[in-house]
Structures are given as structure tokens and as C-alpha cells.
Structure 1
């Protein structure tokens, strides 16, 4: 009807209620897809994280990653659970149970649970992990592997490198320049006149810990200009001309850059626990190497410190202070990542079954490993494909235990990165201008925003009944 008006009809906006209804239907359709996919999973893992939205409502995100027998991965938002009252371990556990029941998940297939260090999560008696383990005991299932978010652990380790003597001065100077509009304009003009490498300083916020690296690097590069500007404003900061303080600033800049690079390696969706563990082990080796080199005042991996050394400062490098800081950081890493070492053998078996010593593994894998490690064609296949693709091609009838082990380990979330990323989307969706979104609508919108699945539009259309004219 009226084909010549087709373009005009396409510009007509749908009503708010129609859009709402369609979002609800697509959200329900995606939930049905996820429920159907979940029934086919051999194993699955959960990542849990809780945060407040713009109206201070507690929102619990539950993400699921599972594998079917063909090593096809399902990684989705399982639920957004709104908690109206307290957020104790018992409250969160009840929401986990609701999600498990809603998706018809089998507790026996739960391989791992990844959380942060909140007391409600890790409490020894009433924490979520403790309640889940009690549930598994009731059904005679083995406990799931507990993983404390590796990115969060890394951030806590980084906080041991406080260096308040440096950060207080840096933050104070940056705030003096940026917090007052006149100072800020004059400083930018000052940099422009000097043809400086940068046009401005950067803000630092403790919540976004990665910002410290950029702030320190920019501050060090503009140190001469900042010192001159502060003097022009009669703002006395004696540390800016203190030679030892400059050493501390240069060293902290380099150390923070190294920590930031490590943090970025741990980020990303779909990362396997074996790859994340490799990054952790590599960083610990790097840390040991840095300690040895700093003791010898070899700064080949610390470019800012190396540049300062080339300027031949009047004060010697504060060797003991810097080495002590690195050793403290090393001890913190050894403490924070000790639980990862408990599973090191299982992760190594998953990462490379050809390199592990048969004699140290569980006896159920030994005969299969003896067969596998002496098969040249499988060795070649392992070298030329990804870990999951290799296990997918492995004959399960010949290697049932190794395949089963791989299915479990491949589902593990090494961090709650997927939850943090989803929370970022949630804050865009439920912003101050959309704060009256209901919990159900927020869940539907969030699910549509982050899903890897496609709603079945053809099916949804087929369910609609056309209204005849009267």
C-alpha cells in the first residue's frame, strides 16, 4: 500500500510502549536461547561482582562461561540481580541460586567461581563461596575452583608501592594547576609559549589506578615547566628542586609503567586461565630481574631513571629505598597469588600436556599422557593450533580424562573483567537522566547490549498477530 510513501513511513517513530515491548520480547528470547545453550554445557563457571547503580541500588552481575563437548564456548550475562536490602553473602548466594534455577543449570557441572575479595564473597562461613561449597557437599559434588580476580589482586599489589612522599606532591601540584580555571588557562598558555611536548597535565584519581602511570610520566616530562610555573605563582614546592625526590619520581614513574603494562595484559574477554597465569609468572620473573639490576644500578629497563642518571644529578641514586620497595612488591605478589599456585599443576596440564612430567600428575591422566606424549601427529597439531582447538580435535574416546580436564579448565574466568565491562555499560544505560529504569528493563537492555547471541527476530515476528481493519 502506497509504495511511493515507503520512505516517509520509515521515518515515523515507534511509540515508547512499542519500543519497550520489543525490548522485553527480545530480552526474553535471548534468555530462552541462553537457557537452551546452558543445557548442552559439559561444564560452566561463574563470575560474580556487585556494585551500586546511579540510584544506589545494589546490582549483582552474574556472568557465565561454559563449554559443550565440541569445545564451543558460551560466554554471556547470566543475570542482573537487584538486591533491595543488605548485600550479605547469604543474600548474594540466594540470587546465585535463583539464576542457577532460572537457567536450569546443574550444580555438578560448576567448575569454578570467580569473585573479588569482598567479605560477603570470601567469608569462611557465610560468604558466597562457603555457601556454594556447602551446597556442593549436600549433593556430594566436588568443590568448584575458587579464583580471586587476578586483575583485582594485581591492583592490590600495586597499592603497596604507595610512595606518598611523591604522590602527595604530584597530586598537590596538578590540583593547584587544574582546579582553578585561571591557573589552568595560564599554564596551558605557558606550555604553548615554550613549545612543550604536551599541552596540559593529567588528573589522577585513585579509583582508576591505571591513571597513576600516565600522570607520573606527564608530570616528569613537564617537571621543568611545572617548577617554573609554580615559582611564577609564588607557590613554593621545595621537593621539585630536591635531587633525591627527583630520583624517587623517576623510579616510581618507571615502576608504575611496568605495573600498568602487566595489568593491561590481564584485561580482555575470553582469556584462558593458563594464559593469565603465564603473565603472572612472567611478571614475577621480571620483578626478580629488576631487583637484581636495581641493586647493581643497572637501569636498562627503567628508561626514566636511566635518563635522569644521564643528567648526572648531584645526589646518588637512593638504592636501598628503591630496592626495598621492589622487594615489598615482590612479597605482596607472592602472598596475593599463592592460591593460583595451588592449581599450577592442573593449569600446566591444560596448557601443555606434552611438557608436564607424567610422574607428578594424578594417576587418572598418566596412561593417557603416555599415549599422547609419544604421538608425533598430535604434537604437530598442538604446535599449529590454539589450546581449545587442539582439545576439540583430540579423540575423546582415547583421551576421555584429559578432554574432561580441558573442558573444566577452559571455562574458568581468570578475572571479573567481563563484569566490570558490563557495569560500565550499565552506567551508560542507567544514567542520571534514565534513573527511573525498572530492574527488569535494565536487565533486558544490558543483556541486549553485551550479548554474543542474536535474538530470533523471525520467530518473534511470526508470533505477532496482524490487526485487520474495522
Structure 2
């Protein structure tokens, strides 16, 4: 430093000032270089296998190895990765282990590692077991099976298969899945919370409600919900609860209580579909009237399947008698075991397609199946009943006029059942359901025209074989078709959905856009001219397409979802009630 100061004093001339400054700066850099290196650079210390002699292992943090005591699990600083500091910790903190050898510390470290692996494995198995339990409960609920089937059948079968195919250890892992009856019941009840959480996110949904009684005579209220997610419209079970009173006010109070408990708002509900029961449709205290008072924007729908069933019950004056007589013939065979066995043997001897006839129930479509089976066993029934003490049924089966009416009922019930089945199923909307009814309406007009002008009844093949010229049943056909058309107009005043054709296919030119605002029409033009959307339209379903459109064009997309979202039938509720009837038998009702 003395030489540096001397240099600074001697260099006073202007010519030598630059050289002096240069030499001074170089000398300062040389003098300060070791100090800067000591401050800026830290020495990296690595763990050595010999450090286990001092009872230490290491933990890697931020790409640095940090020593950790095997005995007390204390983490030391990075600078402590030296033998002297590690040995000092061992002697001061654990003097009893200071004289232990390397084998002791290695055994202790291995024991700790095995314990960590055991707890990690146990945690993973427990977590996966809980997930499997929820998945199994979801399958049971979707297939509408009793929750006791898991503990009584699914788990024993699963354990047996795993033990046979894999090993005993795998069977022990499977046995850890919670599968008790109460656990599965709780899992299914917790699905309500999951669905409600999704409804809180989308904030728009439609309801489907129906009320019925179980085998014990208790009233059950069933509800399903449809809501959009990012890819499709989801239909989920919402709740099923027992009701003490079944008035409209009681149903409304319970649904309001459920909404309050789960944080749902009536403003999010866009539509409700129910049957035509007075408790639902009452104009003063009906459930729908009370919901309209809460949210005037809710649209209500009377189940299309229920209305079609009411139309099916419309018959001319002669046909109800024929229907009742067919039911009596079936009951005469089915309610007597001896006659039923004799009829089955007779069918086998005559090489019939079926060996029994069907017993009708309260469902109207089942009566169509009963008529088909009776018509196909016409000869067998006549042979079986003609030697009985009361052979008036054999007389009816020998009457050509009576059998012609039965054949017509077989044909018309087949048509009505086809319409009914066409409106069933998931993802049914106002567009698909009205198409089925419009098709039926136009067929009635065509059949009336053919019968009146050409006296042709070939649209009813069984009746045409029974009455080749169609003379005997000509007036009956026209009368029944006129009644069906009249009732169809009564229960479905308007089936015109041309103003919603843009939802079916937005890439065609549509004239009827009266229900759209200016902004929605502009966005519809954007959709029509988008070639990428046109290609996507042919590869996805209608709901998924409009949900994707809604991301880029929110107004027209939301308008289309508003058309597709409402339920048109109570099919899901009816299906659930049928499952409840099969599960909750007389024996299970006592549990």
C-alpha cells in the first residue's frame, strides 16, 4: 500500500497522469482480489460416507447437501459439513453414542428409512382405498342397485378374483377398501354435495321432479338435474326424499329447504318438468305456481311421455270392450297354474315361438306387448280354451270380427309404443321430442287420406291380413285416427319449432329468427361463416358444439343452450322409481 501511495504522489505531471492512473488501478485490483474472492465465493462441501461414523446423513436442499443427525434428526448448516463439527455435535448432544461404531449408525439409518417407507405406503394405500370406495359407490348409484350389494357380493367376488389371479398380498390390499353398507350409503349421499358444488359454478340448471309411492306406501320425491359443463350437458341425480304430505306446498317447502342447505338459488333454475298431477300443476297452491311466484322466468313443462300416454288411452266405443276381454283371457290362463302349464306344453307341441303369454301391468306400453303375444298365440289359446267349462273366450277367439279388432289394436299399439319409446332416453330435448310427435301427426294425416281414398289399410299389416279388403274395420279406423288427431291437438297445441331450426343447424339460411336480438343475429352470422366451426359441427353432438361456440360467441351460445337445457320428460324419475320398485321388495321393506 506504501508503494501505491508513493506512486499517487509522484505522478503529478500532465503527461504521465494517464500512465500513473492506469498503474494505480491495476495495483488496487491486485491488492483487493483475494478479499473479494473470500467474500463472494463459498466453498461447496459434499457428504462423505465416512460421516456416518459421527452419526450423520444428509438432506439435499436447493442443490446443496445439508447434514442431518441420525439420532435427533436435527439439520445443521451447510458450513457444518466437516468432521470436526459433526464430531463435536455427537459428543456434546449424544455422549452415550459417541463410542458407537459405524455399524450401529448404519442399522439405525436403515430402520428409519424402512419406517418412512411403511408410513408412505400405508398413506398411499389408504388414499387409493378411499378413492376406490367412492368410485364403487358411484357405479352402484348409476346402475340403481341396492347399496348392500357391495358388501355382500362385489367385495367378496373381487377379493376372490384378486387372490386367485394375483396373490394373497394383493387380496389383503383389496380388503382395505371401505365397503360396509353404511359407508356406501354415505358415499352416495355425499354425491349430492358434489353435484351442488358444480351447480354453484355453472349457475344455470333445469329440474325434473316426480312423486310416487314405494312398496310400503310411503311417498317418495325424486329429482334430477341437467346442467352444462365445459364439454356437454350433464344429467345427474339430485335427491330422493320421503314425504309425509304430498301437497304442492309441502313439495315446494322441501325443495326450498334443500336449496338453502346446499346454497342453491331459484334464480339459477331455468326450467322444471313434472307430470300432470294436481299437486304439481295446481294454479293456486301447486308446486309449479309457487316456483313461478319465486322466479317468474322459470319455464314449466308437462311431461311429453305422460301426455302421449293420455293420448294412447283414447279408443272408440268398441275397442275398450275388446281390450278388457283380452285381459280377461290372459288372466284366465296366468292365474291358474294348471292352465298355465297346460298352455305351455301345448305351445311346445305346436312349435310356437313363445311358450307363455304376458301378464299386463299398469304401464300402458306393456298392454301393447300383451296384445302382440295374444295375437301370435291365437290358435294355441283357442285350442286350450275350447274344452274348458266356460268356453266363451274360445267363442271370441273364433269370431273373425273380434280377431280383426285385436289385430288392429296390435298394430296401433305398436305405433304408439314406438312414439313413446322414441321420446325416452337421456339427452332428450324439445327438438328431438317434437320431431317424434310431428312425425306421428303427419302419419295420421297420411293414413286417413289413404283409407278414405284408396280404402287401403296396408299401414296396419296385421289388420290387413285379418281383413283383406278393410271393409269391416274401415269406419273403425277412421274414427280412431280422428280421435287420436283430436287428442294430439289438445295435449300438444303447437309442435312448430321452426324458430329453433338455427339451433339444429346454424349453417343453413334461416328465415324465422324472430326470437333473436340484433347482437345474437350478428353472432349467428359469425358462426355461419366460420369454417372451423362447420367442420367441428359434424364431429360432435349438438350440446357440445354450442358449448364450444359459447366460449367465443357468448350471446348466441347461451341462447342455444337455453333451448337444449330444459327437460321435456320425466324419464329419469320414472326409471329411478322402477329401480326402487325392484330394489325395495316386500322383504327389504321390513329392514
Partner of 1:211: 366
Q: Secondary structure of the residue that 2:482 maps to in structure 1?
A: helix
Structure 2 CA distance for partners of 1:388 and 1:131, relative to 1, 3 Å: same
CA contact under 8 A between 1:60 and 1:83: conserved in structure 2?
Answer: yes
The structure number with the bigger radius of gyration is 2
Residue 405 of structure 1 deviates from its aligned partner by 1.2
Residue 422 of structure 1 deviates from its aligned partner by 1.4
2:537 to 365, 382, 391: 382
**Structure 1, unaligned stretches of length 5 or more?**
438-470
| Alignment TM-score, normalising by the size of structure 1 | 0.81
Structure 2 CA distance for partners of 1:436 and 1:409, relative to 1, 3 Å: farther
Partner of 1:39: 200
The answer to whether residue 469 in structure 2 is matched with residue 324 in structure 1 is no
1:1-46: per-residue Cα shift (whole Å, max 9, x none)? Answer: 9x9964786898999xx82442254235423321221112242000
Count of residue pairs the alignment pairs up = 420
Partner of 2:234: 74
Structure 2 CA distance for partners of 1:113 and 1:12, relative to 1, 3 Å: closer
The answer to whether residue 456 in structure 2 is matched with residue 298 in structure 1 is yes
Structure 2 CA distance for partners of 1:180 and 1:359, relative to 1, 3 Å: closer
| Alignment TM-score, normalising by the size of structure 2 | 0.65
The answer to whether residue 379 in structure 2 is matched with residue 221 in structure 1 is no
* 1:126-205 to 2 correspondences below 5 Å: 126-137=285-296, 142=297, 144-161=298-315, 163-205=319-361
Partner of 1:392: 547
Q: Secondary structure of the residue that 1:46 maps to in structure 2?
A: strand
Structure 2 CA distance for partners of 1:391 and 1:230, relative to 1, 3 Å: same
The answer to whether residue 248 in structure 2 is matched with residue 89 in structure 1 is yes
Q: Any runs of at least 4 consecutive aligned residues in structure 1 with deviations exceeding 6 A, and if so which?
A: 10-15
Task: Answer 1 or 2: higher relative contact order, Cα 8 Å, separation at least 6.
Answer: 1
Distance 2:479 2:415 in 1: 17
The answer to whether residue 182 in structure 2 is matched with residue 26 in structure 1 is no
Structure 2 CA distance for partners of 1:429 and 1:252, relative to 1, 3 Å: closer
Q: Secondary structure of the residue that 1:233 maps to in structure 2?
A: coil
Structure 2 CA distance for partners of 1:13 and 1:159, relative to 1, 3 Å: farther
Residue 71 of structure 1 deviates from its aligned partner by 4.4
Distance 1:330 1:102 in 2: 47
CA contact under 8 A between 1:81 and 1:95: conserved in structure 2?
Answer: no
Structure 2 CA distance for partners of 1:7 and 1:384, relative to 1, 3 Å: closer
CA contact under 8 A between 1:114 and 1:416: conserved in structure 2?
Answer: yes
CA contact under 8 A between 1:251 and 1:302: conserved in structure 2?
Answer: yes
**Structure 2, unaligned stretches of length 5 or more?**
1-117, 119-162
Partner of 2:225: 64
CA contact under 8 A between 2:333 and 2:340: conserved in structure 1?
Answer: yes
Partner of 1:445: none
Distance 2:510 2:258 in 1: 38
- RMSD over aligned Cα atoms: 2.8
Residue 114 of structure 1 deviates from its aligned partner by 0.3
